[in-house]
Amino acid sequence: MEASVELALCRRLLMMADDELILGHRNSEWAGHAPILEEDIAFANIAQDEMGHAAIWYRILSDITGDSADKLVFFRDATEYRNCQLVELPKGDWARTIVRQYLFDSFELVRSSLFSIVNMGHWRKRPVRSGQKSCTITAIQVTGLNDLDWALKKATSVRKEP
């Protein structure tokens, strides 16, 4: 891969990972404080999903750069994070939090339609662990983020028993 393309890809992956990480932390502030129990549990799961997505983006980035994912997350100054300001906003009230989540998800949809990964042949079947669950993402040639989104959703989905 051309050096300038790799640098741009790494910057984009870092921004995406940082967005998910910070939003996951902000959403987790609602654990035990949402208006009703069902919303509390659901929003805690959304926060966990955001953190899981961040872990995946950091792991992909670490595959490219050679830095450990832990180094990318824990050993940077606050000024080195590249997340958008929307995800940093304090939790505020429940309505503002829901609107922030909606706006971020809408932004993420637009961003992912513009982002594509081509010929990333060095990615192979690789285990991704999230808590007690493990899964495998196959990304030999991903030609668009829709394919990667599908892989991420498949990797992070939890089957509910009927």
Query: Is residue 62 situated within a structural domain?
Result: yes
**Structure tokens belonging to residue 117:** 């990964």
The predicted structure's pLDDT at residue 56: 92
Phi, then psi, of 108 in degrees rounded to 5: -65, -35
Query: Is residue 61 situated within a structural domain?
Result: yes
Q: How many CA atoms lie within 13 A of 45 on its CB side?
A: 9
Task: Check residue 66 and give left, alpha or beta (phi > 0: left; psi -120 to 50: alpha).
Answer: left
Distances (CA, A) of 48 to 29, 99, 157: 12, 18, 12
User: Tens digits of per-residue pLDDT, 76-113?
Assistant: 999 999 999 999 999 889 999 999 999 999 998 887 77
Phi, then psi, of 160 in degrees rounded to 5: -95, 135
- Residue 48's domain comprises 3-115
Query: Is residue 35 situated within a structural domain?
Result: yes
The predicted structure's pLDDT at residue 1: 65
How far is residue 26's CA from residue 22's CA, in Å, rounded to a whole number?
A: 6
The predicted structure's pLDDT at residue 80: 94
Query: Is residue 33 situated within a structural domain?
Result: yes
Chain mean pLDDT for the chain: 77
The confidence band for 152, taking pLDDT boundaries of 50, 70 and 90, is very low
pTM for the model: 0.71
How far is residue 2's CA from residue 132's CA, in Å, rounded to a whole number?
A: 37
Amino acid identity at 54: A
Query: Is residue 152 situated within a structural domain?
Result: no
| Domain tally, the chain | 1
Examine the pLDDT at 129 and tell me if it is beyond 50. Answer: no
Torsion of CA 6, 12, 15, 17, to 10 degrees: -80
Query: Is residue 136 situated within a structural domain?
Result: no
How far is residue 100's CA from residue 146's CA, in Å, rounded to a whole number?
A: 23
The confidence band for 121, taking pLDDT boundaries of 50, 70 and 90, is very low
Query: Is residue 161 situated within a structural domain?
Result: no
Query: Is residue 124 situated within a structural domain?
Result: no
Phi, then psi, of 129 in degrees rounded to 5: -100, 135
User: Tens digits of per-residue pLDDT, 30-46?
Assistant: 999 999 999 999 999 99
The CATH number given to whatever domain includes residue 39 is 1.20.1260.10
How far is residue 104's CA from residue 78's CA, in Å, rounded to a whole number?
A: 21
